[in-house]
């Protein structure tokens, strides 16, 4: 009931604000702006609470079931001892596998919140997607999520899937994992996957200020929560550890990256700097900044054409690198 009340309230406040001053961003439709306002208000309700309470707040935010979900077959598996779920298109092309890590500040997120996103990724790539239910704060802290990701990747190799057919992908905190897992595998001397898709990645948890504050008026997060999330995930380790803040790592030797982010999102500065550092390290990077988009805009699929454009771009990348 609280979610419904919050949704109705943000619809009304967004309508009133647009009458008073016009769209918050000229290109935003009313439904898109109202959805962002609803997410922002939900983030306000969750802000500053203990991790399990934040998780409970976000677990209530679920879109109505989408017909697109029927276009994949979903089955559970144990990926190296880590619970995971396969999303398999009805007719998938080739043998590519995308190992996906959901976002949620390392505190929340699941296939209940990311199921449609993973489904659309599977359909756009034509690949099977293995979505990992990695351990979260407060039950576990760094490096547990990375350990889970590495275990799942090695499990895929043990199933006979060549590394050149695997792509790592993830959004937000999951985008951090999509990069930090590459660094961990490189340090272990393991064969690296064909590529990685960091989506709006939180690649520098040690960072504050800049676009985190300046873009808060458009995005839906609360700047004060960012350092608290980072410290909770680090669990006493240094935030500058390159496996916690992979934007600060030596990136040489990583496989091709396809990095997506929005021009209005709070993480913009760190993602732009990460792309620059990766290119300076001679990593092949395909970078796309989506004009006027906020953090994880592709979860608002029905409300902006930019969502479909981003999925199609991810699909082209997977088909190119995972042959």
Which residues share a beta bridge with 76? 85
Strand order of the β-sheet with 97-101 is: 72-79, 82-89, 128-132, 97-101, 166-171, 195-199, 257-262, 285-290
CA-CA distance, 320 to 40, in Å (whole number)?
Answer: 36
**Catalytic site positions:** 172, 265, 295
CA-CA distance, 54 to 138, in Å (whole number)?
Answer: 11
CA-CA distance, 40 to 300, in Å (whole number)?
Answer: 14
Q: How many helices (H) and strands (E) does the chain have?
A: 10, 8
Query: What Å distances lie between residue 280 and 2, 72, 285, CA to CA?
Result: 48, 39, 10
β-pairing, 82-89 vs 72-79, is antiparallel
Per the CB < 8 A criterion, the answer to whether 72 and 87 are in contact is: yes
Residue at token pair 């505190």:
107
CA-CA distance, 250 to 64, in Å (whole number)?
Answer: 42
CA-CA distance, 74 to 276, in Å (whole number)?
Answer: 37
Query: By three-state DSSP, how is residue 257 classified?
Result: strand
């Amino acid at each position: 009931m609280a979610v419904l009340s919050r949704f109705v309230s943000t619809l009304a406040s967004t309508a009133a604000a647009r009458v008073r001053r016009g769209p918050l961003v000229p290109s935003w439709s009313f439904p898109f702006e109202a959805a962002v306002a609803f997410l922002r208000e939900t983030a306000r309700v969750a802000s500053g609470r203990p991790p399990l309470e934040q998780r409970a707040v976000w677990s209530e935010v679920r879109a109505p079931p989408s017909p697109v979900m029927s276009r994949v077959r979903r089955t559970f598996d144990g990926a190296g001892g880590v619970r995971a779920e396969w999303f398999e298109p009805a007719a998938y092309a080739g043998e590519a596998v995308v190992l996906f890590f959901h976002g949620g500040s390392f505190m929340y997120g699941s296939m209940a919140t990311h199921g449609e996103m993973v489904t659309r990724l599977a359909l756009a790539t034509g690949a099977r997607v293995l979505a990992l239910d990695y351990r979260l704060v407060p039950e576990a802290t760094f490096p547990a999520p990375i350990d889970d990701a590495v275990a799942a990747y090695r499990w895929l190799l043990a199933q006979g899937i060549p590394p050149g057919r695997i792509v790592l992908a993830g959004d937000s905190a999951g985008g951090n994992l999509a990069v930090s897992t590459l660094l961990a595998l490189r340090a272990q001397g393991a064969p690296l996957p064909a590529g990685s898709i960091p989506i709006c990645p939180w690649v520098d948890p040690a960072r504050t200020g800049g676009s985190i504050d300046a873009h808060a008026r458009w995005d839906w997060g609360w700047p004060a929560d960012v350092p608290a999330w980072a410290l909770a995930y680090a669990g006493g380790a240094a935030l500058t550890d390159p496996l916690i803040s992979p934007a600060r790592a030596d990136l040489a030797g990583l496989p091709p990256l396809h990095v997506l982010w929005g021009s209005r999102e709070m993480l913009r500065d760190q993602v732009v700097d990460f792309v620059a550092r990766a290119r300076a390290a001679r990593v092949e990077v395909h970078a796309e900044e989506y004009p006027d988009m906020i953090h994880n805009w592709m979860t608002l699929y029905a409300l902006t054409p930019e969502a479909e454009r981003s999925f199609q771009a991810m699909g082209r990348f997977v088909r190119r690198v995972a042959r």
